[in-house]
Amino acid sequence: MGTWRMTGTMQIASGEISNEHISGTAAIDSDKLQHLHKVGTHFALAIGGTPVAREEIVYVCKAATAVVRGFHGLLNVDGSSTSVTFDLKKNGTTILTGVVTITDATGNRAVQDGTLSNGALVAGDVLSIQLAVSSATGAQGPYAWAEIDETAG
């Protein structure tokens, strides 16, 4: 196939270029891409650590706009008498419709999904994840994470 040269402006309809059309060596600057960040915390506990109440900062938005796409939590072992909750907060205020609750009936390593009330972020917003514990008999290894879609530039 020959070489194509073009001058001027070319407009391509939305959705016409997909991953297969971009060379692995294209060297596209990262500021022209959309980034998916998965940020989480184990609350400074080992996989066998018993959950204790704690809140951790996990993300500071750098882009002009971003959006939280999902929030999830689990316990490695759900224990025999357990009730813990995970909350995702933006600048100290929850952005979930309700906390993610895990009990001894949830199941080991069973991912529980949160429901976002408003996932919009702007530069400077700080996300934190809070773990609250009512009871944690036999529970081990809390972990929670958020998925953030950030447009660079």
Q: What is the residue extent of each domain of the chain?
A: 30-151
* Position 27 pLDDT exceeds 80: no
Comparing 112 with 17, the larger pLDDT belongs to 112
Token pair belonging to 101: 């609750």
Tell me the C-alpha distance between 87 and 73, whole Å: 9
Phi and psi for 139 in degrees, rounded to 5?
-75, 150
Tell me, what's the pLDDT at 92? 98
pLDDT band at 5 (very low <50, low <70, confident <90, very high): confident
Tell me, what's the pLDDT at 102? 98
Token pair belonging to 2: 């020959």
Lowest-pLDDT choice from 30-39, 75-84, 88-97, 136-145: 30-39
Tell me the C-alpha distance between 106 and 60, whole Å: 31
Token pair belonging to 66: 């971003």
Does an H or E element contain 21, and which?
none
Q: What is the reported pTM?
A: 0.81
Tell me, what's the pLDDT at 34? 67
In contact, 111 and 150? CB cutoff 8 Å: no
Lowest-pLDDT choice from 35-39, 59-63, 142-146: 35-39
CATH 2.60.120 for domain 30-151, yes or no, is yes
Phi and psi for 19 in degrees, rounded to 5?
-55, -40
* Position 9 pLDDT exceeds 70: yes
